[in-house]
Amino acid sequence: MSPTQPPVDLRSDTVTRPTPAMRRAILEAEVGDDVFGDDPTVLALERRVAELAGKEAALYVPSGTMGNQLAVKCHTEPGDEVLLELESHIFLYEQGGLGANSGCLAHLVPGERGLITPAQVAAAVRDPADDHVARVRLLCVENTHNRQGGVIVPLERLQAVAAVARAHGVAVHLDGARLWNASVASGIPLRDWAATADSVMMCFSKGLGAPVGSILAGPADFVRRAHRVRKRWGGGMRQVGILAAACLHALDHHLERLAEDHRRAKTLAAGFAQAAGVRVVEPETNIVIVTLEHPALEPAAVLGALEARGVRMVSFGARRLRAITHLDVDDAGVARAVAGFGEVVHGLTGRG
């Protein structure tokens, strides 16, 4: 790496910087006080996403975590159980928020490739007439599934799971932080995925490359409740159209190009897989998971040696590393990452 070359940052698709065109859109945004409902750019974004997702309304929120937590809050009452797949973001990475913010219990079920099966949902629901037990009020599903390496949960499976949940009076929330990726990779419109759930959360600050923000879409009365709780939680923002403008720009210019990230993830995975002593699963979207099988490949040592070569990845559980492609990683970056990874693995194992 030449000293002036910035690192190839594959830690997450959240690391992107706004493009010059996005910065212009930010500069030119019309704004108002969004707490008063006066910001035309936020309103335009919310209308547009509600339409895209086929929902009555949508609410712009500062983060995906807030969108998910608002959904839990507005679908449940304290003491309710929320059905979650064992490795879901809402369970693993939101600091027990569903307990702290909503007084709910996590009812964890180990899924298949990130999704609970219809039979598991049926087995998990409680008899609502039994006053001894907590009610299962909400099922949360995640698509694409982060821990599973960005796998797309098939639409028919989501439909089947949601049908069983609904039949038992259990609401469904879709954590669609990367639903855009699932939609572009599968060619299935967002609204078809969103139709499987009562509410859906989607992030602009990941593959779409906006600096801040996510959106929660659902029925009008649900979004109205979420609007109220967002204010209580300190998420009422004022002239936030400057951020919403970046999100609108992203929808116009960065959605279809997610296919490039997916192509580059495949190239990256194929390149990594050439190194001896590692296992790499073919990615379905933009997340590449590498398992370090050779005993000489200690995750911290691998990450440190990669960093020294200008390649950034993260540890992702025991002997696993994660790399994510995004707007700021081009073909040359992928080539550098593959070359750097090969050198590091060769250097530590003396093989391949």
Ligand X SMILES: Cc1ncc(COP(=O)(O)O)c(C=O)c1O
Cα–Cα distance for residue pair 25/242, rounded to 1 Å:
8
Pattern 160-179, binding to ligand X, x per CB under 6 A? ---------------x-x--
Q: At what angle do helices 331-349 and 299-308 cross, to 10 degrees?
A: 130
Of the residues 203, 243, 287, 327, which one makes contact with ligand X according to CB under 6 A: 203
Q: Looking at this protein, which amino acid is placed at residue 150?
A: G
Q: What number of other Cβ atoms are within 10 A of residue 123's Cβ?
A: 10
Residue of 44, 41, 64 lying closest to 52 (CA atoms): 44
Q: Kindly provide the b/e burial profile for residues 289-309, where b requires at least 16 CB atoms within 10 angstroms of the residue's own CB.
A: bbbbebeebebeebbebbeeb
Q: Is 53 in the site for ligand X (CB under 6 A)?
A: no
Q: Assess contact for 149 and 287: CB atoms under 8 A.
A: yes
- The tokens for 341 are 């990874």
Shortest spacing between CB 62 and ligand X, in angstroms = 8
Q: Is 205 in the site for ligand X (CB under 6 A)?
A: yes
Shortest spacing between CB 68 and ligand X, in angstroms = 6
DSSP string over 42-59: HHHHHHHHHHHHT-SEEE
Cα–Cα distance for residue pair 98/87, rounded to 1 Å:
15
SS3 breakdown of the chain: % helix, strand, coil, rounded to 5? 45, 20, 40
Pattern 74-103, binding to ligand X, x per CB under 6 A? ---------------x--------------
Q: Is 325 in the site for ligand X (CB under 6 A)?
A: no
Shortest spacing between CB 314 and ligand X, in angstroms = 11
Stretch that binds ligand X, among 59-67, 153-161, 236-244, 331-339 (CB under 6 A): 59-67
Q: Is 148 in the site for ligand X (CB under 6 A)?
A: no
Shortest spacing between CB 30 and ligand X, in angstroms = 25
Shortest spacing between CB 89 and ligand X, in angstroms = 4
- Compare residues 194 and 345 and give the one whose CB is closer to ligand X: 194
- Compare residues 113 and 351 and give the one whose CB is closer to ligand X: 113
Q: Is 120 in the site for ligand X (CB under 6 A)?
A: no
Stretch that binds ligand X, among 63-71, 152-160, 279-287, 335-343 (CB under 6 A): 63-71
Stretch that binds ligand X, among 17-25, 49-57, 62-70, 325-333 (CB under 6 A): 62-70
Q: Assess contact for 274 and 312: CB atoms under 8 A.
A: no
Of the residues 214, 286, 325, 349, which one makes contact with ligand X according to CB under 6 A: 214
Q: Assess contact for 55 and 217: CB atoms under 8 A.
A: yes
Q: Is 18 in the site for ligand X (CB under 6 A)?
A: no
Q: Is 146 in the site for ligand X (CB under 6 A)?
A: yes
Shortest spacing between CB 59 and ligand X, in angstroms = 14
Of the residues 142, 198, 261, 284, which one makes contact with ligand X according to CB under 6 A: 142
Three-class SS state of 260: helix
H/E stretch holding 225 reads helix 220-232
Instruction: List, in order, residues 6 or more apart from 187 with CB less than 8 Å away.
Output: none
Q: Is 64 in the site for ligand X (CB under 6 A)?
A: yes
Cα–Cα distance for residue pair 224/239, rounded to 1 Å:
20
- DSSP state for residue 287 in the 8-state scheme: E
- Compare residues 64 and 111 and give the one whose CB is closer to ligand X: 64
Cα–Cα distance for residue pair 216/64, rounded to 1 Å:
9
Stretch that binds ligand X, among 58-66, 103-111, 223-231, 251-259 (CB under 6 A): 58-66
- Compare residues 325 and 349 and give the one whose CB is closer to ligand X: 325
Question: Which residues of this chain interact with ligand X, rule CB under 6 A?
Answer: 63-65, 68, 89, 142, 146, 175, 177, 203, 205, 214
